[in-house]
Structure 1
Amino acid sequence: MPQSKVTKEFIYGLPKAELHLHLEGTLEPELKLHLAQKNNIDIGQHTIEEVKAAYQFDSLTSFLKVYYPAMNVLQHTEDFCTLALDYLKKAKEHNIKYAELFFDPQAHTSRGVPIEAVINGYYEAAQQAREFGVEANLIMCFLRDMSAESAMETYLAALPYRSKFIGIGLDSDERDNPPQKFAQVFALAKKDGFHITMHCDIDQEGSIEHIRQALMDISVDRLDHGTNIVEDPSLVAYIKEKKIGLTCCPVSNSFVVDDMKGKEILELLHQGIQVTVNSDDPAYFQSYISDDLYSLAEAYELSREDVIQIVKNAFSISWISEEKKNGYLKMVDEYVASFE
């Protein structure tokens, strides 16, 4: 089917799942300023324009230098609930039916916020979202540029709230912080029945070795980003055999390395790898999931079938029951049929 058929209208209306979304990365300038004023936090910015101007970066490291200080405005349970609920309302606008949401407790507990405020606030938002038709679950992530001991302390502190999140992830600055550094806490989390995923960011030093560690040593269920895997056909064959999906984020890629990695995403897609498209930190990249999909489709001339397969992949590799997956996949088929 010709590329002209992949319209913005078609993409926006598709039922979707989002699997790579950092709740802290949904802090839009308007909410940041509102929470700063509410909580009497001096962020050095006094207008929306000033906040927007501060959201400037050209690499993963420079992005993180903007990203973490912005979180100071999040202080109380209701702040975390408000942040997540704002995203989930936008998710509805993009016809996201299901989302698995990353959150970083250490970014908050390290500045004195109780872990229960973080988890309870986010969880409350996920519960409220069901009322307007968006199902969401939480994935607790460790900051890899903090110590393995801190990750273990965070994991143990979170266990009293274990019913409120379904998975464990690893994110933040990958330099000199390989997956193996956190082998002990991930082994415990796996033993405790949590799903496991890890960021293997694009074009990092040691990318392929980190991907190998995540797959072979940690035995992750998914890889976040991970498109450097194309450099090792044996690892590509491994994830195909094991049905391990990749949660790709083309627009954020284009900010941190000036390349969407669309060529790699398409190559993997056409090899039968379950690649997905997600928005990562949409407040900072000003691109929500439908925008990412449309940008990728436009830049790399995706066929309509490519777009549909990417969307179906997300439901297929999500951490929900087969019954729910089949229900959502049926929604996609019905939408596609109705769009003819």
Structure 2
Amino acid sequence: MISSNYQDVLRGRYQQLPDVRSKVVRIFLSSTFSDTMGERDSLIENVFPKLKSYCREKYGLEFQYADMRWGIPTESNNNHSETETCLKETELCQKYSVATNFVVLLGHRYGSRPTPATIRASLFEQLYSIICSDINDKDDAQLLSQWYQLDTNCIPAVYILRPISSMLPKILSPDTNEVKRAEKEWKKINTRIRTRLRQAATKCLEQQQIQENEYDDFFVSVTEKEIINGILSVPNANERTLCFLRKFEDIHEHLSDNKASKYIDLKYLNDGTPIVDDEVEKLLNRLKYTRIPNVLQSKNIYKYKIHWTSKGINRDDHSQHIEQFNNDFYNAIQQQIDQCVQSRIIPISDPLHHEILEHAIECKTYVAKFHGRTDILNSVS
């Protein structure tokens, strides 16, 4: 008996076409780096090989994972494209993975919050005007004009943060000492720029001149931007994404431990006493306890509570946690693979059916890239 799906494909009416005929399960692993090393290393050693075997043996699929911890090119740091690189990778995983495409691991760290590499021109000019209006900020206004360059090739126009080497060429020097001095200088400049932009963005928000999402762009971390791309803004998040939250129940009592700063965001009082960075903690808690649960069902969110040790996460003190995490990760991914593959992959034994489906997918790809020039056509009609 011919199925309705088969008939729809032959008639050109099949609506659930994939973007590509992929045979890959590709997962973007999102998290901060220093505090999740124990879990990540265990996944690589114990879980990913099993998932590779499972995908290959049961479905003939290739299992891949994208872990940005293993290196973003130096050039990306120089031209401030680290965030863009990460977000593009999340999109590639979404495009090519036939099942799970995004997994986030979160502890007590929120992640780096870089200065925006691009700012919409009209917004930048608003911020610049606010900074210029403060007589004490004249030097910082000049700094902004030096480091941000208008790019009218973009539509709408944007201001782009110049590559570090364009202003501090010694950052690419073969001399290590020169590089360190240039990096130190850039760190000072970057802090000044980021601070002034955040202050100006806060004023704009208070005066209702910008939207909250535009304001957030100056404050949220790369990790949160990945989560926005990977979970919060996708329609099928509960089918293809997972979240793992790990909490040290007593880390606040051990902020002076040598390794504490690798596991929780801290700032320091004048006397050197470490305290929790309350601004960052507020953003992290909003992400963990409001934004993610508003999108993901509870079955997609795994929570762990463990005790702090002076060595941080390690296999001696936290072997039970790591084993439980490994099992949960494997079982959750396996379940999503089974559900997605069985519901989305159409078994094709008929060559005609296969060829028509390939043509339909290719047609969908070309149509998505087509942009008609109705303005020109209207002007000559």
Shorter-chain TM band: 0.3 to 0.5
